[in-house]
Structure 1
Amino acid sequence: MSDSPAGQAAQKNAPHTITLLQHNALKGFLLAAAGLFLFACMDSTTKYLTTHYNVPFVVAMRYIVHFLLMVMILAPRHSAQLVYTQRTGLVVARAVVLTIASLCMGMALHRMPLAETTAINFLAPTLVALLAGSMLGEKIGGWGWAAIVTGFIGVLLIARPGGGLDAVGIMFALGAAAANATYQLLSRLLASTEKAIALLFYTALLGSIIFGIALPWFWENEAPSELEVILLLSMGVSGGLGHYLFTLAYRHAPASMLAPTTYLQLLWAGLLGWIIFDTIPDSMSLIGMAIVAASGLIIAFKSH
């Protein structure tokens, strides 16, 4: 979808027409990489805050702040673009799927180290590459199929029995991976007809409604400190901006290419986990992470 005046006029004249994406691999990669760094920052903040507050409260604050920032900053000038969609049902479904992923990820981060949780969640790009061929008509190729199997093996090494990870936390991380895969596929599917700003707004709106309804049952009596207030606010900023950049990335590169670039988040998660929480994955987990990352790179460079 074009953001030029001509492209906007075409949308008005043919609102249900799916326009062709103009692929720009480098731009898509850079947008995705920037978004992934913000995601790692948000996950680190979430993990820190869940040691003091329950997970639904923390996730609710993230979505509510995200929504309020969009209303205050963007609504005065872009109100029509925020709410206009061509395939509203899929847009709403995408937003609901993301709220499920956010809750599962928060529960997993509460129980497990940052790097390992992030690595298990990276089954999502593998699932995207697996499904993109049949659902979106994107080629994967022989090397891609081999890489998908390798990626699953890497995740098994990380989540292996006897590895010391919390079993319930692993289940939540796997749930987050499945939800994230669905979210990424829907992002790719909607990128050709919906504006990124509208997709971002509906994720904030639906997340605020869903977690806002549940908030009274999880409200914390203790007032947050100044640092905690700043961190709660920062989650809305990093999460909202990260999803905006990542949504834009899907307009410039195919899902089967962008999926493996998300493995960059493993690097950020490992570094932030070491710096903030002083946790370093064991040797077997590191091997698993390396295998997962390598499988993603193979998909990126050999599937087209």
Structure 2
Amino acid sequence: MTIAYAFVMSVTALAAKQAQTTIAVSTLVFWQSLCCTLILIPQMRGRWQKRPLSVWKIHFLRSVGGFAGFLLYYWSLNHIPLVEASLLRTCAPLCVPFVVLLLHRVHIPKSRWLPLFIGFIGVAFVIQPTPEHLNPWHLVGFFSAIGLAFSMVTTRMLSHQVSGQETLLVYFFLSALLSLPLIGLQGDALWIPLAAWPWVAAVVVTLYVGMYLYNLAYTYAPASVVSPVSYVGVVFSGFWGWLIWDHVPNIFAILGMVFIFLSVLISTRMTRDKG
């Protein structure tokens, strides 16, 4: 499920990058969220249950995190290569311990700092934070990982209390609502040109399938186990970037991939040994 999710989401990123040549990011996020909401509403008919306020708070955090993650990710796609944007987004596992610290007040064990340090070295290789090379859109791509980390942690929290369909429906509905004021503030058009609809449809279909697989994966396994497998999505993104835009990652991006993947592997091994 995780490998399928990684491949499908790489296609989502490809279609989103193409769609954004004619429509704004906020408009794309609105329509992808609205369409997925309409797909999910029939699935929840007769299945709604009264939820305590604590559950709705987690729903809200998950939705805001997911919304911010996608919005920042799509923005970064317009300014940096697909493989680098995808690589920075997959840094979400590095941010998970800090999200857990913020939400649960669970301090990061000393043993976890080594893989985190290795992972952030990898991030530095990708971003190259020097006056000559620093691109602020790399930072935007990394901030999308923070939103995804919130989504990962809260999805796991919700999995013990609500169905995956409910989690997705609430997320997509709130994401559509959050997109509307952004469209208005930026003065973007709400309607989509006819020529852009095939790409938007591809985003909607692949996103719905990908998020369904995402919820299943994080329902049956913790983020620390799923994350190393989902990293294969960077390979898929690299393939699309080479095939369509003739982009080949430089040595720094490749080193960044190696360090980040190594940090995720070390974290996963620690989790398994502890279990």
In structure 1, the partner of 2:189 is 219
SS of 1:274's equivalent?
Answer: helix
Distance in structure 2 (CA, Å) of the matches to 1:275 and 1:107: 21
How far has the Cα of 1:259 moved from its partner?
3.0
Matched, 1:243 2:211: yes
Give the direction of change, closer, same or farther, for the CA distance of 1:221–1:246 in structure 2 (3 Å limit). Answer: closer
Give the direction of change, closer, same or farther, for the CA distance of 1:129–1:260 in structure 2 (3 Å limit). Answer: farther
Name whichever of 258-267 and 239-248 sits farther off. 258-267
1:63 aligns with one of 11, 16, 33? 33
Name whichever of 192-201 and 264-273 sits farther off. 264-273
Matched, 1:54 2:24: yes
Q: What 5-or-longer segments of structure 1 have no aligned partner?
A: 1-30
Q: Provide, for residues 232-286 of structure 1, a one-character-per-residue CA deviation record: whole Å limited to 9, x for no partner.
A: 0121121122112111112211222223333122111111111222211111211
2:71 aligns with one of 103, 107, 124? 103
Distance in structure 2 (CA, Å) of the matches to 1:95 and 1:58: 17
Which aligned runs of 4 or more in structure 1 are off by greater than 6 angstroms? 136-141, 163-166
SS of 2:193's equivalent?
Answer: coil
AA partner of residue 29 (structure 2): V
Q: Provide, for residues 163-200 of structure 1, a one-character-per-residue CA deviation record: whole Å limited to 9, x for no partner.
A: 98662312211221111111111111111111101001
Matched, 1:266 2:234: yes
In structure 2, the partner of 1:118 is 86
Distance in structure 2 (CA, Å) of the matches to 1:138 and 1:234: 41
TM-score by length of 1: 0.78
AA partner of residue 152 (structure 2): Q
2:8 aligns with one of 38, 46, 71? 38
SS of 2:45's equivalent?
Answer: helix
Q: What 5-or-longer segments of structure 2 have no aligned partner?
A: none
How many residue pairs match? The answer is 267
1:79 aligns with one of 25, 38, 45? 45
TM-score by length of 2: 0.86
1:196 aligns with one of 164, 174, 193? 164
AA partner of residue 93 (structure 1): L
Name whichever of 265-274 and 61-70 sits farther off. 61-70
AA partner of residue 41 (structure 1): V
